[in-house]
Copies of this chain bind each other. A is one copy, B any other.
Amino acid sequence: MSAPQGHQPVGVAAEPRTSPDPVILGQEPSDAERARTLATGRVHGTLGTVAREPQGTPFASVAPFGIDEGGSPILCISEMAEHTQNLRQDPRCSLLISEVVDEGADPLAAGRVTLLGTAAVVADDEREAAKAAHLAGNPHAAYYVDFGDFHLWRVTVESIRFVGGYGRMSWVDPATWGAARPDPVSGSAAGAIEHLNADHADSLLLIAQVTGGRTDATSASALGLDRYGLDLLAHGERGTGRVRVPWPTEVATGPEIRTASVELVKAARAAQA
Chain A interface (Cβ < 8 Å from any Cβ of B) = 1-4, 42, 44-51, 53-54, 56-62, 64, 78, 80-82, 92-96, 98, 100-101, 103, 106-108, 110, 112, 114, 116-117, 138, 140, 143-144, 147-149, 158-159, 161, 163
* Cα distance, A59 to B95, chains bound together (Å): 8
Chain B residues with Cβ below 8 Å from A3 are 78, 144
Chain B residues with Cβ below 8 Å from A46 are 46, 60, 96, 98
* Cα distance, A53 to B159, chains bound together (Å): 8
Beyond A47-B60, A50-B58, A54-B158, 5 additional contacts (C-beta under 8 Å) are A1-B81, A44-B107, A48-B59, A50-B56, A60-B95
On whether the beta carbons of A92 and B56 are closer than 8 Å, the reply is yes
Give 14 pairs: A residue, B residue, CB < 8 Å, sorted on A.
A2-B149, A42-B103, A46-B60, A50-B58, A54-B158, A57-B117, A58-B93, A59-B114, A60-B94, A60-B114, A62-B108, A64-B106, A82-B114, A107-B140
Question: Taking A42-B103, A45-B107, A103-B42 as contacts, is the C-beta distance between A57 and B96 under 8 angstroms?
Answer: no
* Cα distance, A117 to B128, chains bound together (Å): 39
* Cα distance, A55 to B212, chains bound together (Å): 46
